[in-house]
């Protein structure tokens, strides 16, 4: 793609990278075939190629974002399916992230919209606030139809019950059983520690059973993905810095072999810390090192080996491959291989490359499109008649649970159960 950026604009490292990404695009349109929003609306501007033209025009003209650009960029799920499809390796993730930051800085959104976005970024990243507010949302669910559209969407997604805080999520060290193979830090996260405490509990049992010492580092928390995808760059960097500092202290004191993440949306972000801080001389090296040792929990399990006990029943499992895992981290075989090794019958969900509509806060901010994607996902899950649905990302789990009649659990819960751990609570 030919570009016309001013020399002044290209003096900005972020703009120079954006121009390089734009030049890689050859207008082929392969990306439109796998873009969920384009498939729903048929609007060229709701596909990656159309969004690229909008971003190019905005940055070349060095103008503030307008309502048209904001609307179509907001509709992007950041599912990154386009990056898997693109034959030219256009890095759409970094491109749309830059566009969102510019929109956040230059576009005057309506007051209600600004308030909702600010509340999501502030509340969901702080478990102490999120827990009581989500409990309140659960009690207000019957009134959802009377609330404004985005508030109604948030109420509809609130689980009927919010578990009490888990003791495993506070800073501590969990000793390995037997000879220690590795020492890792587990990202406990933010909203996951509120919505489903069983995921971290199962992860810790599973890893320690396999000889891994697990550290919950003091000061680590939200990965920064939620505010980052809302264009709130400085807020996301504050969360990322806190994690980098917390894990760096552990590296300096006791050493870390890996940083392990069991929410794939968070994993994609942590693996991008090196890029996020590439121009920060005080953080660049540490951030790059953290990204280099970040692993999804299924990557680590494949590396250290998995040993099922044969205690779990032979259920038919529909594996939902989260976009942030299959497209963002290029991990698709490992979870399926582990589930099959555990003795489960794993079936592919038709159109498994298409997003479920969760996408962080997308299902609150874009409830109509998210609802249509969720309905499609439900229909495709039902076509394979599973006993249970497994996924590797809390957002997908909550999205699919919100309307599914089948139990939906995290992959590690099934692996823990199959290797001598507890039965996943969602199975009753």
| 85-100 pLDDT, tens digit each | 999 999 999 999 999 9
- Return d(Cα 253, Cα 318) in angstroms, integer: 42
Half-sphere exposure of 225 (CA within 13 A, CB side): 28
Distance, in Å, from the CA atom of 325 to the CA atom of 43, rounded to the nearest integer, reads 27
Looking at CATH, the fold of the domain delimited by 7-106 is given as: Fumarate Reductase Iron-sulfur Protein; Chain B, domain 2 (1.10.1060)
Q: How far apart are CA 168 and CA 204, in angstroms?
A: 8
At 95-117, the pLDDT tens digits run 999 999 999 999 999 998 999 99
Model's pTM, two decimal places?
A: 0.93
What does DSSP assign to residue 424? P
- Count Cα atoms within 13 angstroms, Cβ side, for 419: 25
Residue closest to 328 by CA, chosen among 241, 225, 204: 225
Q: What is the reported pLDDT for 146?
A: 65
CA 28, 32, 35, 41 torsion-angle sign:
positive
For residues 110 and 150, give the distance between their C-alpha atoms in angstroms, rounded to a whole number.
14
Nearest in space to 338 (alpha carbons), one of 351, 325, 328, 350? 325
Residue 231's nearest CA partner among 341, 328, 336, 360 is: 360
For residue 103, CA distances in Å to 69, 114, 424 come to 8, 12, 42
Select from 222, 170, 166, 172 the least CA-distant residue to 360.
222
- Classified as helix, coil or strand, 318 is strand
Q: Could you state, in order of their start, the residue ranges of all structural domains in the chain?
A: 7-106, 111-157, 167-302, 308-427
Q: Give CATH for domain 167-302.
A: 3.40.50
Q: Do domains 167-302 and 308-427 have the same CATH topology?
A: yes
DSSP label at 296? Answer: E
What average pLDDT does this structure show over 404-408? 88
Predicted local distance difference test score (pLDDT) of residue 309: 86
pLDDT at res. 134: 86
Residue 213: enclosing H or E segment and its boundaries?
A: strand 212-216
Q: 308-427 has which fold?
A: Rossmann fold (3.40.50)
Q: Give tens-digit pLDDT for 360-378.
A: 999 999 999 999 999 999 9
Give the pLDDT band (50/70/90) at residue 382.
Answer: very high
Write out the two tokens for 116. 């909702």
Cβ atoms of 371 and 161 within 8 Å: the answer is: no
Q: Which of 142-146, 319-323, 333-337, 382-386 has the weakest average pLDDT? A: 142-146
Per-residue model confidence (pLDDT) at position 158: 73
- Please state, in angstroms and rounded to a whole number, the distance separating the CA atoms of residues 263 and 124: 15
Note the pLDDT tens digit of each residue in 124-171.
999 999 999 888 877 877 776 766 666 777 777 677 778 899 999 999
- With cut-offs at 50, 70 and 90, classify the pLDDT of residue 7: very high
pLDDT, position 138:
75
Tens digit of each residue's pLDDT (9 = 90 or more) over 23-58? 999 999 999 999 999 999 999 999 999 999 999 999
Using CA atoms, how far residue 135 sits from 124, 141, 239, in Å, is 13, 10, 24
- The strand pairing partners of 279, in sequence order, are none
């Amino acid at each position: 793609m030919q570009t016309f950026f001013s020399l002044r604009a290209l003096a900005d490292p972020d703009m120079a990278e954006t121009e390089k990404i734009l030049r890689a695009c050859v207008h082929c349109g392969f990306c439109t075939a796998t873009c969920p929003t384009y498939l729903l609306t048929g609007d060229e501007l709701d596909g990656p190629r159309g969004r690229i033209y909008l971003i190019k025009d905005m940055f070349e003209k060095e103008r503030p974002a307008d309502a048209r650009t904001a609307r179509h960029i907001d509709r992007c799920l950041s599912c990154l399916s386009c990056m898997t499809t693109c034959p030219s390796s256009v890095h759409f993730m970094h491109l749309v992230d830059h566009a969102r930051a510019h929109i956040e800085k230059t576009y005057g959104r309506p007051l209600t919209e600004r308030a909702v976005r600010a509340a999501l970024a502030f509340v969901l990243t702080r478990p102490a606030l999120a827990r009581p507010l989500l409990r309140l949302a659960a009690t207000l669910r019957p009134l959802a139809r009377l609330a404004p559209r985005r508030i109604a969407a948030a109420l509809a997604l609130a689980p009927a019950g919010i578990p009490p805080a888990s003791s495993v999520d506070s800073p501590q060290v969990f000793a390995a059983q037997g000879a220690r193979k590795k020492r890792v830090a587990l990202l406990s996260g933010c909203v996951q520690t509120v919505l489903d405490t069983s995921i971290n509990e199962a992860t810790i049992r599973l890893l320690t059973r396999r000889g891994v010492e697990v550290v919950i580092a003091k000061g680590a928390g939200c990965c920064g993905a939620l505010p980052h995808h809302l264009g709130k760059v400085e807020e996301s960097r504050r969360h990322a810095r806190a994690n980098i500092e917390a894990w760096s202290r552990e590296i300096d004191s006791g050493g870390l072999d890996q940083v392990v993440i069991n929410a794939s949306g968070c994993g994609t972000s942590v693996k991008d810390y090196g890029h996020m801080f590439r121009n920060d001389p005080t953080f660049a090296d540490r951030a790059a090192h953290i990204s280099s040792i970040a692993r999804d929990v299924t990557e680590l399990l494949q590396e250290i080996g998995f040993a099922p006990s044969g205690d779990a029943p032979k259920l038919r499992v529909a594996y939902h491959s989260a976009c942030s895992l299959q497209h963002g981290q290029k991990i698709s075989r490992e979870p399926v291989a582990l589930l099959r090794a555990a003795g489960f019958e794993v079936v592919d969900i038709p159109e498994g490359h298409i997003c479920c509509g969760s996408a962080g806060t997308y299902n609150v901010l874009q409830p109509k499109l998210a609802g249509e994607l969720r309905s499609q996902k439900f229909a495709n899950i039902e076509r394979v008649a599973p006993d249970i649905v497994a996924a590797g990302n809390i957002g997908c789990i909550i999205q699919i649970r919100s309307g599914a009649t089948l139990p939906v659990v995290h992959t590690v819960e099934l692996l823990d159960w199959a290797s001598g751990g507890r039965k996943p609570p969602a199975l009753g």
